[in-house]
């Protein structure tokens, strides 16, 4: 079946511009995660959506970062006034969180490579 898809695959933007990154999770998956990975580094959690609950935004590095998930499916991560330190690969993952009690693996998309010049 179709996996997690992300677009664009690559994005080059100038410092100060806003960018939007899109994630299409696996159909039926209620949980959606955003992470970022800088070159040669591990995974940094950004935000987590689960069903209709309020998202866990505890990983967002600044108020320039925001995300929304419409209709419990597609999610958009927005970075305003981009800075060079925002350059990284942004990864989206989804998980079914069913059937209970778990545990549940996360399925990752290919990522969006963001370069801020």
Partner 1 sequence: DAKTTQPTSMDCAEGRAANLPCNHSTISGNEYVYWYRQIHSQGPQYIIHGLKNNETNEMASLIITEDRKSSTLILPHATLRDTAVYYCIVIKNAGNMLTFGGGTRLMVKP
Q: Give the chain's largest Cα–Cα span.
A: 45
Tokens of 117: 């010049």
Residues 39-68 that bind partner 1 (CB under 8 A): 42-43, 45, 48, 50, 56, 59
Closest CA to 86 of 5, 19, 32, 23: 19
Distance CA 92, CA 7 (A): 10
Q: Does 79 bind partner 1 (CB under 8 A)?
A: no
Q: Does 107 bind partner 1 (CB under 8 A)?
A: yes
User: Smaller CB distance to partner 1: residue 18 or 68?
Assistant: 68
Q: Which residue has the tokens 């299409």?
A: 24
User: Smaller CB distance to partner 1: residue 64 or 107?
Assistant: 107
- How do beta strands 88-95 and 112-116 pair? antiparallel
Q: Does 105 bind partner 1 (CB under 8 A)?
A: yes
Q: Can you give the binding site for partner 1, defined by CB under 8 A?
A: 4, 31, 33, 35, 42-43, 45, 48, 50, 56, 59, 91, 93, 95, 97, 100-111
């Amino acid at each position: 079946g179709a996996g997690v898809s992300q677009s664009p695959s690559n994005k080059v933007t100038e410092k100060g511009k806003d960018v939007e990154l899109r994630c299409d999770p696996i159909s039926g998956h209620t949980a959606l995660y955003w992470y970022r990975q800088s070159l040669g580094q591990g995974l940094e959690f950004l935000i987590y959506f689960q069903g209709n609950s309020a998202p866990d935004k505890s990983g967002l590095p600044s108020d320039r970062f925001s995300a929304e998930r419409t209709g419990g499916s597609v999610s958009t991560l927005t970075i305003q006034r981009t800075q060079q330190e925002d350059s990284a690969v942004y990864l989206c993952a989804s998980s079914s969180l069913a059937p209970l009690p778990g545990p549940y693996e996360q399925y990752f998309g290919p990522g969006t490579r963001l370069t801020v010049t």
